[in-house]
Amino acid sequence: MKGIGLDIARYQRDLREGSARAHMDNRIRFQPGVEVNLARLAPLLRPLVMDRWARWTERANSLAGEATVHDFLFGRERIPLGAVRAPLRALQRGLCFYCGDPLDQAAPVDHFIPWARTGSDDLFNLVVSHQRCNGDKSDHLAALRHVERWRERLDRHRDDLLEAAAGLGWSADGEGARGSAYTSYWVVGEGSRLWLANKRVFEPYDPRVLELLTA
């Protein structure tokens, strides 16, 4: 800890003297365990960091309209997902992704890996579900059987999803979505609970989920 304090003091001195660039090698080094906890706290930290960065950018550049700066730096918080409902619904044969019952016309599009965890609107990360299932799942990670179905869809319907995305001008990166899912499940790890059904039906974390999400 003493060494870290000396490094910070030296950097602050060089920053004042205009020679801080010598300390920069475009890398960030974390103490052991820090990266795991940052990932676990991402849903809490991400909006805070983004907000503070937008505010700093606005002040540093004498800009007005923080919302505009935020949107420019990070994109909008959420985008409407209705445009992808029809192709996803057809892919799911009109059935809810989670419970398998028929969908109604107003069925919402859901982020399989919760948006709060990754901020990803990638088409591979989107499914259509009942409003009830969507609300019950909330921002929880889904249980093993749902991951099995999601991985099967990723492999079997990759071309269908890519074609739909191209027609809509929507982002679609199967490997990116799979990697993001793997990281999300790896971070929560054993001891966590995964959503299965309804509001209160969860199951213990199953390490086989990582095998499913391995390339």
Using N-to-C axis directions, what is the helix angle for 66-74 and 42-60, rounded to 10°? 120
Domain finish residue from 19, 43, 77:
77
Q: Is residue 21 part of a domain?
A: no
State the residue range of the domain holding 150: 82-212
Query: Which pair of tokens denotes residue 25?
Result: 């090698």
Q: Is residue 23 part of a domain?
A: no
Instruction: Based on the fold, state whether residues 116 and 131 are members of the same structural domain.
Output: yes
- Tally of structural domains, the chain: 2
Place of tokens 């579900």: 129
Query: Measured between alpha carbons, how far is 210 from 144 in angstroms, rounded to an integer?
Result: 10
Instruction: Based on the fold, state whether residues 120 and 163 are members of the same structural domain.
Output: yes
Instruction: Based on the fold, state whether residues 97 and 72 are members of the same structural domain.
Output: no
Q: Is residue 201 part of a domain?
A: yes
Instruction: Based on the fold, state whether residues 161 and 148 are members of the same structural domain.
Output: yes
Q: Cα dihedral sign for 203, 99, 167, 159?
A: positive
Q: Sorting pLDDT into bands at 50, 70 and 90, what band is 1?
A: very low
Instruction: Based on the fold, state whether residues 109 and 207 are members of the same structural domain.
Output: yes
Neighbouring-strand partners of residue 195: 142, 202
**Neighbouring residues of 107: CB distance < 8 A, sequence distance ≥ 6:** 85, 89, 96, 128, 129, 130, 131
pLDDT of residue 77: 58
51-91, pLDDT tens digit by residue?
A: 777 777 777 777 655 556 666 676 655 678 999 999 999 99
150-205, pLDDT tens digit by residue?
A: 999 999 999 999 999 999 999 999 999 999 899 899 888 888 999 999 988 999 99
Query: Which pair of tokens denotes residue 140?
Result: 């929880």
Neighbouring-strand partners of residue 111: 126
Instruction: Based on the fold, state whether residues 122 and 169 are members of the same structural domain.
Output: yes
Instruction: Based on the fold, state whether residues 147 and 57 are members of the same structural domain.
Output: no
Query: Measured between alpha carbons, how far is 68 from 57 in angstroms, rounded to an integer?
Result: 11
Query: What is the value of pTM for the model shown?
Result: 0.70
Domain finish residue from 17, 42, 77:
77
